[in-house]
Structure 1
Amino acid sequence: MRAASAPAKPSARPAEPAHPVTRADPEPGRRRLIGVLTMAGSGLSNQTGAAIGSLAFPVLGPAGVVAARQYVAAVVLLAVGRPQLRSFTWRQWQPVLALAVVFGTMNLSLYSAIDRIGLGLAVTLEFLGPLTIALAAARRRVDACCAVIAAAGVVVLMRPQPSTDYLGMGLGLLAAVCWASYILLNRTVGQRVPGAQGSAAAAGLSALMFLPVGVVLVLRQPPTAEAVGCAVAAGVLSSAVPYLADLFTLRTVPAQAFGLFMSVNPVLAALVGWIGLGQNLGRTEWASIGAIVLANSLSILVRRG
């Protein structure tokens, strides 16, 4: 506090404010930087988990790895959401049940696609789901151009070749349809069920759906500790870490920046597959991935409101 003084003489200068002007708070910028770093870590964690999980395919198969991932996701989401299942009405159970089926099918089709066509291409095809949702809701010319760019990338990516695995491509597209459905169902669940209870309940039901898969695998041939470790790591890195990271990121980073960074996931998947699994992609595949990423990035950057 300043010391008291004699009454001031009249002056033409305006009076000083009662409180000193403080400098801009550096905390928001720091939190945003941490949010960006968290997004980067979340994306790398997600794709690294998928790559590690694929190492268990020879022993557990894609279904076994997905089962372990669903178990881990259920544990995390049930602990966070704490759903009050007895209070759910049938109107609330309907989208939750549908979400559980879509959640399991999405992961199973994605990991089956990874087994056949590699991590980078599978994740790129899956990414068409949210991209389609975003472009379908738009009414601008630039979005039409983005749709054409993305479609061109898909056509080049799925062009007929002697080595083309059409079943793997189809599984990747099925994962895209499931991801789009997952987004729409999550909106409905969020409107009908408070908090994260709906998502948690769906994750728990999805884990129950895959429980017979785990039982059959154990009874048929006891898996190795290494394979189980890879599957559990896939669940932690691809489900638990990204989910918890997104909860923090969405509070510190604008939604536009979050969506823009999400579009980089196909590139991260291709890099992780190349470095970690030796899955090399040609120039044409890289160009197709780049076109799909460019379409989403351009749509987000020019979006208003």
Structure 2
Amino acid sequence: METFAEPGTGRVRSQSAPAQGRILGGVLTMTGSGISNQIGAGIGAHAFSAVGPAGVVAVRQLVAAAVLLPVARPPLHRFTWRQWWPTILLGAAIALMNICLYVAIQRIGLGLAVTLEFLGPLAIALMRSRTWLDMLCAACAGCGVYVLVLPGPSSDFAGIGIAMAAAACWAAYIVLNRVAGQRLPGLQAPAAATAVSLVFYLPVATYLVAQGSLSGPALGYSVVAGVLCSVIPYAADLIALRHIQPGFFGVYMSINPLLAALSGTIVLGQFLVLHEWLGMAVIVATNVAAILLAGRCRRRSVPASPG
């Protein structure tokens, strides 16, 4: 419940806080997006042996375009350059982010790949910090990531580097998705960006179809991954970023390593050791703290009484 001064009377009234409702809705949307994304990534990994990471990503983009374009019906021929440039960059970021993540999953596993990919949103949180408490939350999330990973001499540094490239793309995705979403209504931004990213993977899809690789279980796994990893998260993230600031989005999405670990355990049979669970506990605690701090800041933002 928030209070505000009623203009012209000096009386203070209470009202239910729609802003708090929007924050809660954004948090629930982001959580659903993360669950969908990580389960889809685990399912998609089952198709690597048949079509490879590029094949899974190609099908993902085909599925996303087939669903989002008819639903959103973006008038591409009427887009202005102000609308086109963030859409084009968003599509390129999606295309590169997906292939980097899937190659990293193939090399170092789902949990570690997603954890390193989180460095992108964490960077957004650090750059957009407003108070020392925000910085502390981001730092705690970073410590959680380190405890989770504990890199050593036996680490696959090529896989780690590819995962970090995915992190850079995810940071760009957050910023560009917000910009494009502000300039295009509804789902037009993710739909148009998906069409752009699809251009990069049409040759891959064409080659796999010609080779007869896209059939049977591999096709099924890839299609499910397309729905869970592309259609649902793209739409959900766009909706969430209309109500949540990018910095808070970046910190809260640190829950993805936990979701990825659970997906890896359930879908791929990848079990975690103690330090990995400890790191995830730190990350989840940071998420809770960030949500509480965001709610406190909202409650303190009471409109001032006019002159």
Scaled by the length of structure 2, what TM-score is found?
Answer: 0.77
Residues 1:211 and 2:202 are matched in the alignment: yes
CA distance in 1, matches of 2:259, 2:120: 17
CA contact (8 A) 1:38 1:245 kept: yes
Specify the code of the residue in structure 1 equivalent to 2:80.
T
Tell me which moved more, 115-124 or 57-66: 115-124
One of 82, 85, 89 as aligned partner of 2:76: 85
1:247 is displaced (CA, Å) by 7.5
1:189/1:44 Cα in 2 relative to 1: closer, same or farther (>3 Å)?
closer
CA distance in 2, matches of 1:266, 1:155: 12
1:63 is displaced (CA, Å) by 0.7
CA distance in 2, matches of 1:191, 1:35: 16
1:169-203 Cα offsets, whole Å, 9 max, x none, are: 22222112111101111222234334432321111
Partner residue, 2:277: 286
1:39-88 Cα offsets, whole Å, 9 max, x none, are: 66554332221111000001111111011111111122212321111112
Residues 1:167 and 2:167 are matched in the alignment: no
SS at match of 1:281: coil
Residues 1:133 and 2:124 are matched in the alignment: yes
Residues 1:201 and 2:192 are matched in the alignment: yes
CA distance in 1, matches of 2:204, 2:171: 25
- Identity percentage of aligned residues: 55
Could you say which structure has the larger radius of gyration? 1
Residues 1:153 and 2:131 are matched in the alignment: no
Unaligned stretches of 5+ in structure 2? 1-22, 299-307
Aligned ranges 1:175-190 → 2 under 5 Å:
175-190=166-181
CA distance in 1, matches of 2:115, 2:202: 29
CA distance in 2, matches of 1:152, 1:37: 25
Unaligned stretches of 5+ in structure 1? 1-31
1:214/1:104 Cα in 2 relative to 1: closer, same or farther (>3 Å)?
same
Specify the code of the residue in structure 2 equivalent to 1:270.
A
1:219 is displaced (CA, Å) by 2.8
1:154 is displaced (CA, Å) by 3.6
Scaled by the length of structure 1, what TM-score is found?
Answer: 0.77
One of 92, 100, 116 as aligned partner of 2:91: 100
1:211/1:95 Cα in 2 relative to 1: closer, same or farther (>3 Å)?
same
Number of residue pairs the alignment of both structures matches: 276
CA distance in 2, matches of 1:146, 1:191: 27
CA distance in 2, matches of 1:237, 1:129: 21
Q: What RMSD, in angstroms, separates the aligned Cα atoms of the two structures?
A: 3.3
CA distance in 2, matches of 1:234, 1:264: 20
Tell me which moved more, 75-84 or 190-199: 190-199
